[in-house]
Amino acid sequence: MRICWMIVCLWITHVHAVTHISVSADSISYDNIVLQQPRAKLDLQSGQQVKVDAARLQIGAATLDKPQIFLNVSRHPTLLVTSSALQSEHYQARNPTILLDYRTHPTQPILSLDAEIKATGDEIWGTFHLRCLVPPQASLQTWQCHDGLYQDVRSHIPFHVQVTPTLKSAAGATSLARGMEVMLNVNQARFSDAAGLHAGENLTGQIRLSAYEQADGWRWKGLFHWTQGELFWQPFYFAEGGKRFEISGFYQAPYLDIEQAQLSLDGVGTLHSKSRINLVSKDFELLTVNATDVDFNGVYKAFIQPLVAKSVFGSLNVSGKADWSFEAKGLQPLKFNLHIIDASVEDQNGKFGFSHFNANIPWDYERPQQISMGYQSGHVLQIPLGETKWQAEVNRFSITAPQLRLPLLDGALDFQDFSAAWINQSMVWHVKMDMQPISMRSFSQALGWPEMRGQIDGEIPLVTYANHALRMTGEMQFKLFNGKVGMSDLEIVDPLGAVPKLHANFNMRDIDLGEITRTFNFGSISGKLEGDVRHLRLQNWKPVYMDAVIQTADGPFEKKISQRAVENITALGGEGTAAALQRTFLRFFKEFGYEKIGLRCELRGDICKMGGVENVPDGFVIVKGQGVPAVNVNGYTQYVSWKDVLSRMQRVTDSNSKIIIK
Amino acid sequence: MTRYIAGVFLAFCFMAAFSHAQAAADLNVNTPAVAAVKAAMQARHAQLSAYYQSGAVGLTVEGFVAVKDASLVPLSQRGALAGLVNDENTDRTHLYQGIAAANGHPEWEGEIQRIFALRWIDKAQSGWFVQREGQWSRK
């Protein structure tokens, strides 16, 4: 103990007896306790009261402002320390009181701590209370602290804690090592931050910590066991307890080595981790995590789903097992391995699903790795996917595959020269695709459409995706209805954004009208169809611009149209469209000859300017008849809203069963 | 007295800004972008209205929504609540930007946002919490 500058005053009353002795000093220091400008006053009349006022009491890193110390030195002494405020780095306390009371147990005093506290930067004050029984040998025996309670408007945390100073002989050391064991029990605790995004209810559990000093640092061990209650830590939610976290390591400034961390979660499995943290720079110098044979569903529900809740992967039913490992240095990933064993994934909205899914995805910052994944069967929407096995090479942040085959219905998509990379936090990829013919029969069946004949067959030249835009170079071709449909100049800007924008040109040649009309039960038209859709623009997948022409092709083939098809075309033309059927006798004919049939639409915004194969006064010709018997269909409404065009098409394809010819 | 004068002055500024933008900006302009945002907000409203009614979520004076009292919502649903509020505010930002852009004046965004803030609060059903002068009050 060091005392600087001491002054002693004696207070003498009129009867010349000494009533008080005052002692003041500049500072008194003991161990890491410093009392600044203390002034002690001993009441000689009672002989038992000492009162000490001081400017400041420093205990370690904590500072008590204007402390008052009352010491009652009777046979059962008490020591009460009060202050206006306590300041420390992370916490603030006001009106702290510390009471050391020997009145109940002369050998085991009760130490009570009370204060109003709050975290620095928080706005809400809470009350803290703890009562400890100080053992006769305070530096060797267990301190039992009961009735611990922290509470504020949002939190209520009852706890008790047991602290045991230890002396043990460490392996190889000659002297005893000083240490400490702490056991903290929390019972039915509830807490929340102001926003309610970090909160717990009914939390019950135990924390055991032990540490002892070694020559060059501290060896420590911790066990966190959470038995019940629920916890929400944005965006993760854990319910029903059953979690156990064991951690042990070594501390030598500035490094905290976590040599073994083991997190056991009921229904998930066990996760092992090792890390080295620099407490000064707050850097993870090394981090390894590995988990073997964990339940994929448990991992998905606890960790993946909350992170991807809004994406297409946000509502899956999954099953299976997974092995996972991860290694990083200074938060820069070094190695990664994910091994998924016989999993199944099914979107709850039925958009996609895979069964017997296996994947082996290694990744190494230093060297390229081969990844493989595959599934026995799957589906996208209602389209079934056949057994698939993919292999690719992953090199740092890029992935390449010379050949990927995706069996689909009775055909397949063959991707070639696929490559993708993460550049500046955005995805860039390109691919070519060939198609193994898929029959229209299986395709239409899968989508629940009318059964179609023919096949989809074609190739996709180079498709690239960069700067949030997808572009296709060259022309994509499909073989449909014995003819060809080509798409070129495809560009989709921001396909996954709020308002995707698409631009494309289409052309159709040699489409067999007989096939189409039979498929859609439209009546029957023989001949060939051709068409061009120039500058189709979709915004948010709705058309806003196009110049479209579809018409019958010229050629030496039969050109016949059935009565029913005429009625349907009339309905398509809408109000003001008139079939110049001389109904009186033409209704007896089942089919008519035609020269040409065609419709045009110049779409600007929501309005379509309609046209046909020829103009007539106040209108246009949709069906131009030829031969005997012949029929003409004319349209007279030139401007139609796109919504009306769609609803007409809907009506025609829906109501084909009731064609009435008068 | 000075506070009273300042208050009246502010009210005048506010009215001037309000009437100016009213006169100039077409707040009901409909572009595909604005329509998409409005449709998304309408779909979300069904989920949010229960939270407005209970007081878990309130309308802020800046034209956004905020969690007013999360403790009214069970812990298991807090993640969904935070997601809803976040998405709604993102859409509201897009709405203000979209309307300003559709009017050909992206710089009007702030003014449009202020007008919408007043509109939302005006249209709020009784029982909902709205923020006035930094304080929550029940309408």
Which among A196, A498, A544 has the least Cβ separation from residue B36? A498
Give tens-digit pLDDT for A457-513.
Answer: 777 889 999 988 999 988 888 888 888 889 999 999 988 776 789 999 999 999 999
For residue A579, the tally of other CB atoms under 10 A from its CB is 21
Q: What is the mean pLDDT of chain A?
A: 85
Is the pTM above the cut of 0.90?
Answer: no
Give tens-digit pLDDT for A218-235.
Answer: 999 999 998 889 888 887
Residues listed for chain A: 662
Residue B41 is assigned to a structural domain of this protein: yes
Would you put residue A172 in left (φ > 0), alpha (ψ -120 to 50) or beta?
left
**Is A232 within 8 Å of B79 when comparing Cβ atoms?**
yes
pLDDT on residue A577: 65
Answer yes or no: are the C-beta atoms of A358 and A343 closer than 8 Å. yes
Residue B14 is assigned to a structural domain of this protein: no
How far, CA to CA in Å, does A304 sit from each of A310, A316, A438, A496? 11, 10, 36, 20
Would you list the DSSP string of A173-201? Answer: -SSEEEEEEEEEEEEEEEEE-TTSSEEEE
pLDDT on residue A208: 95
**Is B78 within 8 Å of A499 when comparing Cβ atoms?**
no
pLDDT over threshold 70, residue A581: no
Nearest-angstrom CA–CA distance, B77 and B46: 16
Residue B107 is assigned to a structural domain of this protein: yes
Give tens-digit pLDDT for B14-72.
Answer: 444 444 444 467 888 888 788 888 988 999 999 999 999 999 999 999 999 999 888 89
> Which residues in chain B are contacts of A199 at CB distance < 8 A?
70-71, 75, 78
| Predicted ipTM of the assembly | 0.70
pLDDT over threshold 80, residue A349: yes
Answer yes or no: are the C-beta atoms of A143 and A125 closer than 8 Å. no
Residue B5 is assigned to a structural domain of this protein: no
Would you put residue A275 in left (φ > 0), alpha (ψ -120 to 50) or beta?
beta
Which among A197, A239, A498 has the least Cβ separation from residue B78? A197
Q: What is the mean pLDDT of residues B75-92?
A: 90
Percentage of residues in chain B having pLDDT higher than 90: 48
Percentage of residues in chain A having pLDDT higher than 90: 35
The separation between the first and the last C-alpha atoms of chain B, rounded to the nearest angstrom, is 29
Angle CA A422–A427–A430, to nearest 5: 105
pLDDT over threshold 50, residue B4: no
Give tens-digit pLDDT for A109-130.
Answer: 899 999 999 877 778 899 999 9
Q: Alpha helices of A282-393 — where are they, by DSSP H?
A: 296-299, 305-307
The separation between the first and the last C-alpha atoms of chain A, rounded to the nearest angstrom, is 119
Structural domain boundaries, residue B104: 27-138
Mutate to test the interface with A, among B78, B89, B93, B99 (most CBs of A within 10 A): B78
The band of B133, judged by pLDDT with boundaries at 50, 70 and 90, is confident
Close Cβ partners of B60 (under 8 Å, ≥ 6 residues apart): B66, B117, B131
Residue B35 is assigned to a structural domain of this protein: yes
The band of B9, judged by pLDDT with boundaries at 50, 70 and 90, is very low
pLDDT over threshold 80, residue A209: yes
pLDDT over threshold 80, residue A242: no
Domain count, chain B: 1
Residue B80 is assigned to a structural domain of this protein: yes
Chain A contact for B102 (CB, 8 A cutoff): no
Nearest-angstrom CA–CA distance, A312 and A352: 9
Close Cβ partners of B55 (under 8 Å, ≥ 6 residues apart): B68, B69, B72, B128, B129, B138
Residue B94 is assigned to a structural domain of this protein: yes
Residue B77 is assigned to a structural domain of this protein: yes
Question: What interhelical angle do B78-102 and B109-123 show, nearest 10?
Answer: 130
Give tens-digit pLDDT for A377-426.
Answer: 999 878 889 999 999 999 988 999 999 999 988 999 899 999 999 887 78
**DSSP letter, residue A302:** I
**Is B83 within 8 Å of A310 when comparing Cβ atoms?**
yes
pLDDT on residue B15: 42
Residue of B nearest to A306 (CA): B79
pLDDT on residue A653: 64
